């Protein structure tokens, strides 16, 4: 049965892929995005499609948001400040955007009891050392004097608020913690590592690894991620729950740099940039970030089907043909 989905942040990397998936499967999509980190080029191909409608505005516009939610059956809240580089440079914007924006979305959705899927992040696990991370694990954040943890703290607070709305207000809410989602359309502008490495390799420029490169991550393909989101949102068993979503194919950042270089047959040199130089003095990173995906597998049968090599190839194809002029940077997605 065709449904109408409102995607906040729908012109962003993940939001635009979710819009594609929903329209492909016969649904209608409403998008709101202020283009602070999203790009209109991500949804250009959907313009004119009768199942798609977009509005350039912020979720802080309560009246507009209320109108859009009134027209929707489901809400996917993706609008947020993203990327380590942006978080370090603009901690006030990070906190205000993530906390206030989520508060308004939940409050407005609650008036019509529209089910909400809230996109959180693996960053909330902070400096936890138990691997893999499971949804019920303790969250271990760093000092409040270090801006690097502002994003994780704001997202953790958003999760508390979302779950509180479920228990106290009976608002149908699902929380997903995304682990380094990557793929075509992702820009390196705010510190996302895969597009940055790929663009550097394609341009035969130095591939810049921050820190010593021993930090490891699991990179999940955006197509695999957006495929499961509508399933979660429409399943009542998921309401009030938190789910990890990502791949379990772990790789160090140095290994990733060398794999990109080899995969793309690049002559680029791999160089190291100290964290203090890249971000801020005393910057702290997470040594490993690996998800336990047992919970979402049990409910939905989710699998991360796309390998890292396939992801690198698809990102390279995208930048080779469509995005060679987009700005970039480096960091963690």
Instruction: Specify whether 151 is catalytic.
Output: yes
pLDDT digits (tens, 9 = 90+) for 62-84: 999 999 999 999 999 999 877 66
Give which of 40, 49, 47, 51 is closest to 10, Cα–Cα. Answer: 40
CATH number of the domain located at residue range(s) 4-181+220-245 in this protein: 3.40.50.720
In the numeric block, the tokens 């040199």 are attached to 269
Tell me the average pLDDT of the chain. Answer: 92
3-state DSSP percent of the chain in helix, strand and coil, to 5: 45, 20, 40
pLDDT digits (tens, 9 = 90+) for 122-171: 999 999 999 999 999 999 999 988 888 888 999 999 999 999 999 999 99
| Contact indicator for 225, 245 with CB cutoff of 8 Å | yes
pLDDT at 281: 72
Instruction: Return the percentage of the chain with pLDDT > 90, whole number.
Output: 82
* Residue ranges per structural domain of the chain: 4-181+220-245, 187-218+249-289+306-321
Sequence-distant (6+) residues with CB within 8 A of 114 are 6, 69, 72, 73, 74, 75, 172
| pLDDT above 80 for 102 | yes
What's the CATH architecture for 187-218+249-289+306-321? Alpha-Beta Complex (3.90)
Query: Could you give the CA distance from residue 103 to residue 108 in angstroms, rounded to a whole number?
Result: 9
Q: Which of 54, 74, 125, 151 is catalytic?
A: 151
pLDDT digits (tens, 9 = 90+) for 294-328: 999 999 999 999 999 999 999 999 999 864 444 43
pLDDT at 89: 76
Q: For residues 80-89, b (16+ Cβ closer than 10 Å) or e, as one string? A: bbbbbbbbbe
DSSP state of 37: S
| Contact indicator for 208, 271 with CB cutoff of 8 Å | yes
């Amino acid at each position: 049965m065709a449904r109408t989905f409102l995607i906040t942040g729908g012109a962003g990397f993940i939001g635009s892929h979710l819009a594609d998936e929903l329209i492909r499967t016969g649904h209608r999509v409403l998008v709101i995005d202020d283009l602070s980190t999203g790009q209109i080029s991500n949804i250009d191909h959907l313009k004119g499609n009768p199942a798609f409608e977009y509005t350039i505005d912020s979720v802080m516009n309560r009246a507009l948001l209320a109108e859009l939610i009134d027209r929707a059956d489901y809400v996917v809240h993706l609008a947020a400040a993203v990327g380590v580089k942006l978080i370090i440079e603009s901690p006030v914007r990070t906190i205000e955007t993530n906390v206030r924006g989520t508060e308004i979305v939940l409050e407005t959705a609650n008036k019509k009891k529209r089910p909400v899927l809230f996109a959180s992040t693996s960053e909330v696990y902070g400096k936890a050392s138990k691997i893999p991370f499971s949804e019920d694990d303790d969250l271990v954040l760093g000092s409040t004097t270090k801006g690097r943890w502002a994003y994780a703290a704001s997202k953790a607070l958003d999760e508390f608020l979302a779950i509180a709305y479920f228990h106290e207000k009976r608002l149908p809410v699902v929380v997903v913690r995304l682990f380094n989602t990557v793929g075509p359309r992702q820009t390196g502008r705010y510190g996302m590592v895969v597009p940055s490495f790929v663009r550097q390799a394609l341009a035969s420029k130095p591939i810049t690894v921050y820190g010593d490169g021993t930090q490891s991550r699991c990179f999940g393909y955006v197509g695999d991620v957006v495929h499961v989101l509508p399933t979660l949102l429409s399943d009542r068993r998921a309401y009030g729950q938190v789910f990890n979503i990502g791949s379990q194919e772990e790789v160090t950042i140095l290994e990733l740099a060398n794999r990109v270089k080899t995969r793309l047959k690049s002559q680029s040199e791999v160089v190291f940039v100290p964290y203090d130089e890249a971000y801020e003095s005393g910057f702290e990173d997470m040594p490993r970030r690996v998800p336990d995906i047992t919970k979402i597998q049990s409910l939905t049968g989710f699998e991360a089907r796309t390998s890292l090599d396939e992801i690198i190839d698809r990102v390279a194809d995208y930048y080779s043909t469509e995005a060679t002029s987009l700005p970039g940077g480096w960091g963690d997605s």
